[in-house]
Structure 1
Amino acid sequence: MNSKYKEYKAPYILEKHPFEAYIPEKAKTLIIGTFPTRKENRKFEFYYANEKNVFWDILGKIFNFQFHFDEGMKAVNERKEFLKDNLIGITDMHLLCYRRKGSSSDEDILHIKLQDIFFLLSQYPSINRLILTSRTEYVGALGLLKIYFMQQDKFLEIPQSATKLIKNTFIYEERTIKIFVPYSTSPKVIKDYGFDSILDMYKQVFSD
């Protein structure tokens, strides 16, 4: 077999999402990301476990909560309890995907099977707000949600914005669901836009 062909094929690895959606009873908010960082980057087996991602720092600031554990099951349990106390659920859009070259970038994760968001909304009728944690067209959480809508023979119209908090609504089972898309909390975006600008966006999300 041609060595160049081997080099082309090898970087793509099939991955199944490593954990279930976590949605407490009576959750009002559902946070939706794309896919977890690669295992060697994770400090604990739960969402946003890369120590360079400021997701949990942002939520801690908003809810005036200090996380005491940064790794292992104590970190997982502490974050689950925090989400439960604040009626927040969390999941990702990818259930099954190809990851390219071990990258955690959305651009290098190719979807095969997407999370069934409508099923989750039906199972948890108290949810009235979705927070999508990335906005890149086609590969970010917002882009993947649009693809999911198309798969369900529906259309989600949300104008893109490079600089503003994205907001919109849609109707599902006779209830209004709000959508918010702040900047990503990834290290690259923090470097480009700063912690405070992302914190301000998330404050708007939880105050609206």
Structure 2
Amino acid sequence: MEIEQHPLEPFLPGNARLLMLGSFPPQKKRWSMEFYYPNWNNDMWRIAGLLFFNDKDHFVDKSRKAFCKECIISFLNKKGIALFDTATAVRRLQDNASDKFLEVVQPTDIAALLQQLPQCEAIVTTGQKATDTLCALFSLKEPKVGDFTEFIFEDRPIRLYRMPSSSRAYPLALEKKAAAYRVMYQDLQML
């Protein structure tokens, strides 16, 4: 079975206070842009639009049925949000985007990412596979969805937030997902 290497470089703004980690990008055929959370059926950028701009379509280019990468990057740089995934190499056990059928072949060196983000005070995992992978790497007890746990990384306290998956396959309304993310962004004084 083919091993897929991560197709994107980590997005690490120097001012990042939050590191957002998914599991792994979907297959390219599902991308609406060349960036994180590219699947049109993923609500991550709709959640951010709703919370920060009171408009779920703030990052949407309706004419192209795609997300506006440049708008997203500008937003992330301004807010200090870094992005990557918890796996750098995977096997897809089925021909779909489901985390349930992803086998992590090589987990990401999260410590190396955190070393490049000296202002980072929190990590958020955006789904079960990402949470499981990160908790295994740092020997952490998994927080409940919508909650956090704290750990020490190189003398620095870091919060691990566990948010609901932004995938539409996760059975929760957009507004309820946004409500969980709102608590995290307010805790971090980003909203």
Same fold per TM (> 0.5)?
yes
Please list every run of at least 4 consecutive aligned residues from structure 1 whose deviation after the TM superposition is greater than 6 angstroms. Answer: none
Partner of 1:26: 15
What one-letter code is carried by the residue in structure 2 that aligns with 1:119?
A: A
Cα distance, 1:178 vs. partner? 0.8
Q: How many residues align?
A: 183
**Percent of aligned positions with the same letter in both sequences?**
27
Residue 157 in 1 paired to residue 136 in 2?
no
Alpha-carbon distance in 1 for matches of 2:158, 2:21:
14
Post-superposition shift, 1:197? 1.1
| TM-score in terms of structure 2 length | 0.89
Greater CA deviation, 93-102 or 49-58?
Answer: 93-102
Distance 1:55 1:93 in 2: 17
- From 41, 54, 60, the counterpart of 1:52: 41
Call closer, same or farther: CA 1:126–1:75 in 2, change over 3 Å: same
Tell me the CA shift for residue 77 of structure 1: 2.4
Asked if the contact 1:27–1:89 (Cα under 8 Å) also holds between the matched residues in 2, the reply is yes
Query: Separation in 2 of the partners of 1:141 and 1:76?
Result: 23
1:102 aligns with 2:95: yes
Larger Rg: 1
| One-letter amino acid of the counterpart of residue 161, structure 2 | F
The aligned runs of 1:18-97 (5 Å cut-off) are 18-64=7-53, 66-69=58-61, 75-97=68-90
Q: CA-to-partner distance for each residue in 1:54-77, whole Å, 9 max, x for gaps?
A: 100101111117225366998322
**3-state DSSP class of the match of 2:169?**
helix
Distance in structure 2 (CA, Å) of the matches to 1:182 and 1:68: 22
Give CA-to-partner distance per residue, 1:20-78, whole Å, 9 cap, x none. 11011111011000001111110111111111111001011111172253669983222
What's 1:193 paired with? Answer: 172
Matched ranges for 1:95-134 at <5 A: 95-134=88-127
Do the aligned partners of 1:45 and 1:72 also contact (CA within 8 Å) in 2?
no
Q: 1:145 aligns with which of 134, 153, 171?
A: 134
TM-score by length of 1: 0.82
Structure 1 counterpart of 2:159 = 178
Name 1:17's counterpart in structure 2: 6
Residues 126 and 184 of structure 1, relative CA distance in 2, 3 Å threshold = same
Whether contact under 8 Å (1:13, 1:100) holds in the other structure is: no
Matched position secondary structure for 1:80 = helix
**TM-superposition CA deviations, 1:106-129 (whole Å, max 9, x none):** 111111111111111111110001
Aligned pair in 2 of structure 1 residues 72, 115: CA closer, same or farther (>3 Å)? farther
